């Protein structure tokens, strides 16, 4: 029999397990990987350069398109940086709405991650289950912002509008009976908050369903346990954040350690792994689903009890209402200036970070006092995680590449920017 020789394998960019447009050059020894060279940038759009040519507010929509699985968290990081520059703080209700929507986003992201990770590793069923719940939360996105994905909902000084009183409902079709329709719309009769309340009550059982399918599944464990182990010190050196860092046993969560918005008023736990393998990262994210549900629940209760403004009453950064604008000269001028020129920020440099579902998402802005950022740098968590791939995958088998990509939870809108 001929001896194995080392060879190079091209993986992607059009590979269903590459989660987008990842091209991997794998140097292999038999089925063992000796070096992985990820080629990224196939989705590079120059978001940061584009932001330099636009007033601050016009780039919010671009943030959605970075990590398109955690849309509002990206907006949050960007908007926080602007607020830091301007020295403004949104009203409390807006902060609660942001936190609630961040956690909705976290669940959205983790559900997609879980479904596709399972699909990659060979567990088809979980995917079908997770997308059922994702659909409900995407409807929440639609209700609050009008868009199912690219919300552009956060604004410096608050959010675009208050939570709506109605949820979008399913409509009758020839294929749906009235009874079925009533059942589908059962939770949608009230406001968004009612819907989320109902969701928080039924979602833990759904997580149990996913866990029944996976957590003790021996194929799942064979594929994940002890694959791509990273120790806590190494994880810090490699720049890991979020579930990747916590999976390695470092109790670090920006929501706890450097709380922004109202996270310090909320009660939740931070799950931490012990082994730093793919399975621990899976467990950490599963627990985060439960904790996010807890946070949403608390936010729903607070938001129901405390109506109020959701945007800062400062016409220099947030536009006046339509009625004011038509009645009042000053408001008309403010409106006109805001939408033709935007607002100028004071000169300086700021960095604001949020705990996005994938890790620390940060926005670094250099301002020279203009109405556009002089330089905007996005700190994408996936980009740094993916850069550690070479080190993590060495000595593993080809099949583990797919496990690792799933476990890294990469999204190329964000890696390539």
Q: How far is the CB of 394 from another protein (least distance, A)?
A: 13
CB 330 within 8 A of CB 231: no
C-beta closer to another protein: residue 151 or 386:
386
Rounded alpha-carbon distances, angstroms, from residue 5 to 27, 75, 394: 11, 49, 17
At 124 the three-state DSSP class reads helix
Helical H segments across 215-277, by residue range: 218-224, 232-237, 242-247, 254-257
Q: Which CB sits closer to another protein, 149 or 350? A: 350
> From CA 375, how far away is CA 338, in angstroms rounded?
21
Q: Name the residue nearer to another protein (CB basis): 62 or 141.
A: 62
CB atoms within 10 A of CB 304: 13
Strands 158-159 and 154-155: antiparallel
CA angle 173, 176, 180 (to 5 degrees): 135
Contact 136, 199 (CB under 8 A): yes
C-alpha–C-alpha distance, residues 275 and 373, integer Å:
42
CB of 326 to another protein, least distance (A): 24
Of 129 and 412, the one with the shorter C-beta distance to another protein is 412
CB of 71 to another protein, least distance (A): 21
Residues near another protein (CB under 8 A) are: 40-41, 44, 46, 48-50, 52-55, 58, 84-88, 236-239, 241, 250, 252, 257-258, 314, 316-317, 340-342, 344, 346-351, 353, 360, 362, 364, 366, 368-372, 374-375, 377, 379, 383-384, 386-388, 391, 416-417
Smallest distance, Å, CB 384 to another protein?
A: 6
Q: Shortest approach of another protein to residue 73 CB, angstroms? A: 16
Nearest approach in angstroms of CB 55 to another protein is 5
Q: Among residues 114 and 382, whose Cβ is nearest to another protein?
A: 382
**d(Cα 158, Cα 216) in Å, to the nearest integer?**
43
Least distance in angstroms from the C-beta of 289 to another protein: 24
> Starting at the edge strand that comes first in sequence, how are the strands of the sheet with 23-29 ordered?
6-11, 23-29, 32-39
For another protein, which is the closer residue by CB, 75 or 360? 360
* Cα(356)–Cα(100) distance, integer angstroms: 13
d(CA 281, CA 272): 9
For another protein, the closer of residues 29 and 233 by Cβ is: 233
What is the C-alpha separation between 146 and 82, in angstroms, rounded? 24
CB of residue 370 vs another protein: minimum separation in angstroms? 5
Q: Cα–Cα distance between 269 and 126 in angstroms, integer? A: 25
Q: Of 115 and 156, which CB lies nearer to another protein in the complex structure?
A: 156
User: Residue 27 or residue 211: which is nearer to another protein going by CB?
Assistant: 27
What is the rounded distance in angstroms from the CA atom of residue 313 to the CA atom of residue 70?
A: 28
Q: How far is the CB of 27 from another protein (least distance, A)?
A: 14
Smallest gap from Cβ 353 to another protein, in A, equals 8
Q: How far apart are CA 67 and CA 384, in angstroms?
A: 14
Nearer to another protein, 88 or 138 (CB): 88
Q: What gap in Å lies between CA 36 and CA 12, rounded to an integer? A: 13
What is the enclosing helix (H) or strand (E) of 362?
Answer: strand 359-367
Contact 110, 206 (CB under 8 A): no
């Amino acid at each position: 029999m001929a001896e194995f020789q080392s060879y190079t394998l091209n993986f992607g960019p059009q590979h269903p397990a590459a989660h987008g447009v990842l091209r991997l050059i794998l140097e292999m020894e038999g089925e063992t990987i000796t070096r992985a060279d990820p080629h990224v940038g196939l989705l590079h759009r120059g978001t940061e350069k584009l932001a330099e040519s636009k007033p601050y507010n016009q780039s919010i929509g671009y943030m959605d398109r970075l990590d398109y699985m955690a849309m509002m968290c990206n907006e949050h990081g960007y908007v926080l940086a602007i607020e830091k520059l301007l020295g403004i703080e949104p009203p409390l209700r807006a902060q609660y709405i942001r936190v609630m929507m961040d956690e909705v986003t976290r669940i959205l992201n983790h559900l997609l991650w879980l479904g596709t990770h399972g699909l990659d590793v060979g567990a088809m069923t979980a995917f079908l289950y997770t997308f059922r719940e994702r659909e409900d939360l995407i409807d929440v996105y639609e209700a609050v912002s009008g868009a199912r994905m690219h919300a552009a909902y956060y604004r410096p000084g608050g959010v675009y509008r208050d939570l709506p009183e109605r949820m979008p409902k399913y409509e009758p079709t020839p294929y749906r009976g009235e009874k079925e329709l009533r059942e589908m719309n059962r939770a949608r009769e009230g406001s968004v908050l009612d819907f989320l309340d109902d969701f928080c009550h039924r979602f833990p059982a759904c997580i149990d369903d996913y866990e029944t399918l996976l957590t003790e599944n021996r194929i799942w464990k064979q594929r994940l346990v002890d694959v791509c182990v990273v120790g806590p010190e190494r994880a810090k050196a490699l720049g890991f954040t979020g579930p990747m860092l916590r999976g390695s046993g470092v109790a670090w969560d920006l929501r706890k350690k450097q709380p922004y918005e109202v996270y310090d008023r909320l009660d939740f736990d931070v799950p931490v792994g012990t082994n730093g393998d793919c399975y621990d990262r899976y467990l950490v994210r599963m627990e985060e689903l439960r904790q996010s549900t807890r946070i949403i629940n608390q936010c729903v209760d607070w938001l129901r009890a405390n109506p109020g403004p959701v945007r800062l009453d400062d016409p220099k950064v947030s536009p006046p209402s339509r009625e004011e604008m038509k009645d009042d000269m000053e408001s008309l001028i403010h409106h006109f200036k805001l939408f033709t020129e935007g607002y100028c920020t004071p000169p300086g440099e700021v960095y604001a970070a949020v705990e996005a579902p994938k890790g620390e998402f940060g926005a670094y802005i250099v301002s020279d006092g203009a109405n556009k950022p002089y330089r905007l740098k996005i700190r994408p968590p996936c980009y740094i995680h993916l850069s550690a791939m070479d080190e993590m995958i060495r000595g593993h088998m080809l099949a583990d590449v797919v496990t690792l990509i799933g476990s890294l939870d990469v999204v190329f809108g964000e890696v390539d920017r």
